[in-house]
Amino acid sequence: MTEQIDSQLDGSGLLNAQVREAEEALIKLGASDPELAATLARVLGVVASEAARTTRFARALGKALTPPDTQTAPRPVERPRRSRRAPGVIDPFAALAESGETGLRSSLGKLDLEQLRDIVSEHGMDHDRLAMKWKDPQRVIDRIVERVESRTAKGAAFRGRPEQSATPHGEAGGLKAEDPSV
């Protein structure tokens, strides 16, 4: 029992010394930047108060403040995902770029259902985990075309469209005024 009290006193003595050091540092900072010192004191007060009140927060704070080399478990090395499927027979992105949607659909139409599923698997096109279950090849082709077009167009708003760069900002982008659809 006396050992426990002694260790608590040693711990509280160390804590008191650290609190005094922090206090002195804040006072020194207050001499050059009183606003920053006051803000830092408030932040430390809130953090310490919350850590005293909430055990979970105290553990998370302790873990966050522990240097990485002393943390208990090293991070596992991530291995790349291995697919059990064969690589796709064609690259749908290249097919779309070369011959457009019609050419892509034509190329995909020549493949059997398993080859289509290989493409879906290779390019991660089964976000809802349904396409690999579909029995209708046309449905899988529609999914592939939809995902390829979507990914190809992603970020287009930031790249700008070629027809926009050719026309000045004040013009209507090639639309004629006599066009009734305008």
The residues, any chain, with a CB within 8 Å of residue 90's CB and separated by 6 or more, are: 107, 108, 111, 119
Predicted local distance difference test score (pLDDT) of residue 70 = 53
What are the pLDDT digits (tens) for 73-98?
Answer: 555 666 666 668 889 999 999 999 99
Q: Is 151 exposed, middle or buried (0-12, 13-18, 19+ CB in 10 A)?
A: middle
Residue 134 backbone phi and psi in degrees, to 5: -65, 145
Query: Structure pTM?
Result: 0.45
Residue 9 has pLDDT above 50, yes or no: no
What are the pLDDT digits (tens) for 45-59?
Answer: 888 898 899 999 888
Higher pLDDT, 176 or 72: 72
> What are 96's two structure tokens?
């779309």
